[in-house]
Structure 1
Amino acid sequence: MDLSSEPISPDVADTAPLTRREIADLLPEIPGWSLEDGRLVAQFACKEFCDAVAFFQEIARFSARESHHPDISIHKGRIVDVAWYTYAIGGLSRNDFIMAARLSEWLRCRQGGAL
Structure 2
Amino acid sequence: MTDASDLATRHCVPCDGGTPPMTRAEAEAALAVLEGWTLSPDATAIARRWQFKGFARAAQMANLAAWLAEQQGHHPDICFGWGYCEVSFTTHAAGGLTENDLICAARLNAILAL
Which interval holds the TM-score relative to the shorter structure? 0.7 to 0.9
| Structure 2 match to 1:112 | none
Task: Indicate the SS of the match to 1:65.
Answer: helix
Output the aligned Cα RMSD: 1.4
Question: How much identity, in percent, do the aligned residues show?
Answer: 32
Say whether 1:90 aligns with 2:112.
no
| Structure 1 match to 2:17 | 13
TM-score (norm 1): 0.85
TM-score (norm 2): 0.86
Deviations 1:32-77 (A, max 9, x none): 11102431010111220122112211211121101101100014x2
| Structure 2 match to 1:66 | 72
Alignment partner of 2:86 out of 67, 81, 91? 81
Segments of 5+ residues of structure 1 without an aligned counterpart are: 110-115
Segments of 5+ residues of structure 2 without an aligned counterpart are: none
Cα separation, 2, equivalents of 1:44 and 1:100: 13
Cα separation, 2, equivalents of 1:73 and 1:85: 14
The count of residues paired between Structure 1 and Structure 2 equals 108
Cα separation, 1, equivalents of 2:17 and 2:73: 14
Which amino acid counterpart does residue 14 of structure 1 have in structure 2? Answer: G
